Structure 1
């Protein structure tokens, strides 16, 4: 049985955690950046997704520190999380390639129209 597709916010959160551990606000900023400003996560949404990803074993707490009397928790991608993200990237790529081929075959997209 195959895993269900990742929702876009989940996909982007995992992507944000691929380069380095990040705290919540840094994840929100990076998701905004990598989505070209299209996906704006609210803190409540982010932390609900982070909790779910932790319980699924896709991310884990890297470290905690206190900044201006507030706890800042940094999260990092686990090996399982990296595998799950790579699987999703492959699934999306296959679908995009199929759509591109069909658009070109139907004359709706010029050759080389998709990179």
Structure 2
């Protein structure tokens, strides 16, 4: 089988990755991109990152802090932490079922 037939791509939702990054503390965009790459192997492009940040901010899941040296950090809100917990619990169930359904090799 050719490699591209096996490669399912990254299972990455930018919003989930951003919320997970901010769960460890406030960060500006570049720091989020680096953190996300370190823990997930996913490199978000700036347009993807900032588009997701805008949507998360509109929904009240993250909030912008004051500008620091031309950088704007963001932090997770209480609503954002609750949404992240819910999504991660869902993914835990999906992972558990998926692993149970795989045949033992």
So what's the TM-score if we normalise by structure 1?
A: 0.76
The alignment status of 1:29 with 2:18, answered yes or no, reads: no
Unaligned runs of 5+ residues in structure 1 are: 1-6, 111-115
SS in 2 for 1:63: coil
Contact persistence 2:64–2:74 (CA under 8 A): yes
SS in 1 for 2:68: strand
Q: Write out the 4+ residue segments of structure 1 that deviate beyond 6 Å after TM superposition.
A: none
Pairing partner for 2:104 from 100, 104, 109:
109
So what's the TM-score if we normalise by structure 2?
A: 0.83
Distance, in Å, in 2 between the alignment partners of 1:44 and 1:102 is 37
Unaligned runs of 5+ residues in structure 2 are: 1-11
Distance, in Å, in 2 between the alignment partners of 1:100 and 1:19 is 28
Greater C-alpha Rg: 1
Could you say which residue in structure 2 is the equivalent of 1:49? 52
Distance, in Å, in 2 between the alignment partners of 1:11 and 1:94 is 16
Could you say which residue in structure 2 is the equivalent of 1:15? 20
**What is the alpha-carbon root mean square deviation over aligned residues?**
1.3
